[in-house]
Structure 1
Amino acid sequence: MRSLYFRVFVIILYTVALSSLLGFYVSNAYYHWKLKPLHDAKLIAIAEDARTFAEQYPEAVGDYMRNAASLGYQIYLTDRTRREFYFGHAFRKKNLAADVRDRVLAGDVYHGIAHYPDSPFLTGYFENGLRNTVGVPLQISGENYAMFLRPDVRLQFGELRVFFALIFMFTVAFSIPSFLLSTRYLVQPITQLTEATKRIAQGEYKIRLNTNRRDEIGQLARHFETMSRELARSDLAKRDFVANVSHEIHTPLSSIQGFADILQQPELDDATRIEYADVIGQEARRLAEMSRQLLLLSTLDHADGEPLDKREHPLRRQLQHALRLMQWQLSEKQLSVKLSVPPSLTICGDEALLLQVWTNLLFNAIRHIPDERSISVRAREESGACVVEVSDTGDGIPEEQLPHIYDRFYRGDGSRTRFSGGTGLGLSIVQAIVHRHGGTIQAFSRIGEGTTFRVTIPGL
């Protein structure tokens, strides 16, 4: 299997090679389109100057041509008798057509550089051939000649070619280790993340990564550490949940088993038998209620993302129905309730689930406030959402316990025992239902002043 390190290195080399090829292609196209005609015109002007001098000073033509060749040009002279004279380095290719010589001897000007064939990956500037020249007619002592001229690349750029070749070779030589180091710099954090993933898969969540980088890799490392902490918290919550469920089920089962064994004793009187049977019934109902709430929580957890049967319902009617269900608990503790909900206010959501929210909040308030206190239920419309507040005048919840009140089976104080009738799942169910509706739930409490739960359900 090829490693990411190898792949990134190959991609960098491929990118450099492709960029160099495209750069050469574009530069060569620009040369053929723009520079080649300018180069041709420049050489024609030089050839015209040479012709003027040769025709004015025919006796110095040889010396002039040799001096011009020493300055960096290749020159070829021919006449009608096909005599040939070369000045400067020899042409590698003598590929000049005969009709071209004849036309120049007849007075035409030859634009061999401007008319050199275009090629995407071949620059005609470096071809050392007679066809890659400019030609002008020349008359010396009454005799016609054709002069062909081109720059001598070896003479003009000989040292520069070596210089640029060395630059290219050393660039490649120094680039390869630089590519290797830069690739390692890019890949190493990903390798560390891969190792961290393996450790998380094995159940080890205490991961430390380099989060000091301010790029995408550093951001990924920070998010990865956050994920590992959340996974650790989730794993701990699952373990606590299993332990809590086991404890909550074990306790009533032990009571049922113990009292059932006692009921088998024949010497028990009827009053004691009835009392113990009532305890068994209470514990059985508690187990049934716990099973129902656990099933509801599981349904809410697994149905996340599925659409709800959302409809608009009169909120006041829902809350009145929830209060009727709590009527006997309210009467037993002599609690007063103040309902302040506009009759026209509606709420959008699943009616059965929302009724579960109101009954759980009311039951929670009733269970945890002293007798002869009061509960108020207020509702209003705010920014297109429905806001419901359930407040009590109980003793309040300590501030350090507020972040945990939605945890499953959480009991904040010793008074919340299994004999108080609760399962520790009510607020967890409320939070799950509210979140399924896209809403929020907040708890506000002060010791000695009471507690308020604020539920916000968005509209359509």
Structure 2
Amino acid sequence: MKTLYVRIVLTFMLVALVSGIIAFLFSNLYYHVKLKEYNEEKIKEMANEIVYLYENSDGMKIQDFLTSVANMNFQLYLVDQHMVGHQFGDRFRQYELDKSIIQSVLDGRTYHGISTFKSNLFVTGFFKDDLKNSIGVPIKVDGVTEALFVRPNVEKQFGEMRIVFSLILGLTFFISMLLIVVSATFLVRPIKRLTKATRKVASGNYDFTLDSHRSDEIGALAKDFERMAKSLKKLDEMRQEFVSNVSHEIQSPLTSIQGFSKAIRSKVVSEEEAERYLEIIEKETSRLSSLSKQLLMLSSLDKEVKAVNKETFRLDEQIREVVLLTEWEWSKKSLRIELDLPELVIEADKQLLFQIWINLLTNSIKFTGNHGSIYVNAAVDEDIIVTVRDTGIGIAEEELQQIFDRFYMGDKSRNRTKSGSGLGLSVVKKIIELHEGTISVQSEIGKGTEFTVRLPR
């Protein structure tokens, strides 16, 4: 399989080759359309000038005159009335020429051989020194008309320039190929680094550096890859922390259950102590049951196994139902519950939304001291807005960004995690996101916390 480096080099070389061929074809076309007739006209003027100079000379012999002209880098061919030709200057490569053409020149007509000369490549036809590729003009020699065929000796006039142009073309091609090889190396280098970084990420190593300061597409790709790696690293850390927290949350109640059950079976505790131990065991099993339910719900929501089954229902009635279900808990602490719930109809998953209100309300009850207050308000603008506010112990500002993380317990020194699992708010946020809503929180230590939920109407 070809590497990207080889592909880039071959692509550049192919582009250079195709560009050269297209440029050559366009040059040929331009020569054929624009320059060929112009070139022929110039040579015809030279031929006519040669004839004029001879015919107005003072009895100079034709051989001497044409030899002198040929020395000025011309190829000349003189044909008499008997179809006998004489060469002056360098020889033509081919002398094949129809006798009717020679006769037409002897009859006083001009032969336009350059414009009618056929060549596979037009521009290269200019350099072919065939007799056909010349200008034929009549010339009076001792009172008799003869045919003079003229063409510049391109080899002598432009021979050195052809070498120079060939050298320029060859060097240009060679240097272009060399620069392509070098530039391809620089182009592929950041991609090779990205490939190495990808292998590191695949093996779980997130420590690498990329050239993300570039302002081109590769720089943008490097930045996005670094962001992705940081997200994967955070996700991996969260996964490890999640496993650790789950193990801790399960191990702790199991240890308590095991210890208290052994104490009861030993018969060394009093009935009152045994009753208290059984109550603790019951609470711990209830906690384990709640933890497993929340874990299953999170897993289901994460995998989107649980579809959002939308139905139309009264949201205000659902919230009142949650308040009634938790009455025993808030009345035990003598909390004041104030509701401001206008009639609200929403289309959503009724079961999932119930989990939002039960989690938010039980959290407020749990962290609000005796004789405190909880306010539940609802309003409608573009969205449906539900606010749950308490006068509890509050949350520190540095913790607000973490409370929706799984198993985050807050500052235990303020006893904000009396019996929770740290999953409730994670479940709440996930359900709200599935409904394309948002949740925000404001809090101040000692003054309380306010959760605001926005759901599409």
CA offsets per residue over residues 162-217 of structure 1, 9 Å max, x none?
21222233334433432332121111111122222222222211112232322222
Q: CA deviation at 1:6?
A: 2.7
**1:388 alignment partner, SS class:** strand
Q: CA deviation at 1:268?
A: 4.9
**What CA distance in whole angstroms lies between the structure 1 residues aligned with 2:380 and 2:74?**
92
**2:406 alignment partner, SS class:** coil
Distance change >3 Å, CA 123–CA 351, structure 1 → 2: farther
AA at the equivalent of 2:150: L
Are 2:334 and 1:334 equivalent residues in the alignment? yes
**1:129 alignment partner, SS class:** coil
Q: CA deviation at 1:242?
A: 0.5
Show the counterpart of 2:154.
153
Show the counterpart of 2:375.
376
Show the counterpart of 2:193.
192
**What CA distance in whole angstroms lies between the structure 1 residues aligned with 2:108 and 2:270?**
143
Q: CA deviation at 1:120?
A: 5.8
Are 2:440 and 1:439 equivalent residues in the alignment? no
Contact persistence 1:58–1:141 (CA under 8 A)? no
AA at the equivalent of 1:11: T
Are 2:64 and 1:27 equivalent residues in the alignment? no
Q: CA deviation at 1:122?
A: 6.7
**What CA distance in whole angstroms lies between the structure 1 residues aligned with 2:145 and 2:356?**
112
Show the counterpart of 1:354.
353
Moved more, 373-382 or 278-287: 373-382
Distance change >3 Å, CA 71–CA 121, structure 1 → 2: closer
Distance change >3 Å, CA 452–CA 55, structure 1 → 2: farther
Contact persistence 1:108–1:137 (CA under 8 A)? yes
Show the counterpart of 2:100.
99
Q: CA deviation at 1:248?
A: 0.1
Show the counterpart of 1:13.
13
Q: How many residues align?
A: 456
Show the counterpart of 2:132.
131
Q: CA deviation at 1:348?
A: 4.1
**1:132 alignment partner, SS class:** coil
**What CA distance in whole angstroms lies between the structure 1 residues aligned with 2:279 and 2:122?**
98
Q: CA deviation at 1:290?
A: 0.6
**What CA distance in whole angstroms lies between the structure 2 residues aligned with 1:361 and 1:37?**
93
Are 2:377 and 1:408 equivalent residues in the alignment? no
**What CA distance in whole angstroms lies between the structure 2 residues aligned with 1:326 and 1:104?**
121
Are 2:431 and 1:430 equivalent residues in the alignment? no
Show the counterpart of 1:363.
362
Q: CA deviation at 1:141?
A: 3.8
Q: CA deviation at 1:58?
A: 7.8
**What CA distance in whole angstroms lies between the structure 2 residues aligned with 1:363 and 1:352?**
17
Q: CA RMSD in A?
A: 2.7
- Write the mapping of 1:222-301 to structure 2, written as runs, cut at 5 A: 222-266=223-267, 268-301=269-302
Q: CA deviation at 1:411?
A: 0.8
Q: CA deviation at 1:66?
A: 4.1
Q: CA deviation at 1:257?
A: 1.4
Contact persistence 1:207–1:228 (CA under 8 A)? no
Show the counterpart of 1:207.
208
Moved more, 187-196 or 173-182: 173-182
Q: CA deviation at 1:456?
A: 2.6
**2:394 alignment partner, SS class:** coil
Contact persistence 1:206–1:229 (CA under 8 A)? no
**What CA distance in whole angstroms lies between the structure 2 residues aligned with 1:172 and 1:423?**
72
Distance change >3 Å, CA 112–CA 368, structure 1 → 2: farther
**What CA distance in whole angstroms lies between the structure 1 residues aligned with 2:317 and 2:292?**
29
**1:86 alignment partner, SS class:** strand
TM-score for both structures, normalised by structure 2: 0.90
Q: CA deviation at 1:318?
A: 3.2
CA offsets per residue over residues 363-407 of structure 1, 9 Å max, x none?
22222222222222333344x433333222223211111111111
Distance change >3 Å, CA 115–CA 314, structure 1 → 2: farther
**2:114 alignment partner, SS class:** coil
AA at the equivalent of 1:37: E
Instruction: Give % identity.
Output: 39
AA at the equivalent of 1:79: D
CA offsets per residue over residues 335-354 of structure 1, 9 Å max, x none?
233333442x4444323222
Q: CA deviation at 1:436?
A: 2.0
Contact persistence 1:73–1:150 (CA under 8 A)? yes
AA at the equivalent of 2:104: R
Contact persistence 2:32–2:122 (CA under 8 A)? no
**What CA distance in whole angstroms lies between the structure 1 residues aligned with 2:91 and 2:206?**
77
- Write the mapping of 1:65-144 to structure 2, written as runs, cut at 5 A: 65-117=66-118, 119=120, 123-144=124-145
Contact persistence 2:410–2:416 (CA under 8 A)? no
Distance change >3 Å, CA 450–CA 79, structure 1 → 2: farther
Q: CA deviation at 1:249?
A: 0.2
Q: CA deviation at 1:27?
A: 1.8
**What CA distance in whole angstroms lies between the structure 2 residues aligned with 1:120 and 1:405?**
79
Q: CA deviation at 1:284?
A: 1.1
AA at the equivalent of 2:134: T
CA offsets per residue over residues 33-84 of structure 1, 9 Å max, x none?
3322332333333333333444444844555544543444323222331121
TM-score for both structures, normalised by structure 1: 0.89
Contact persistence 1:133–1:148 (CA under 8 A)? yes
Q: CA deviation at 1:220?
A: 2.0
Moved more, 361-370 or 397-406: 361-370
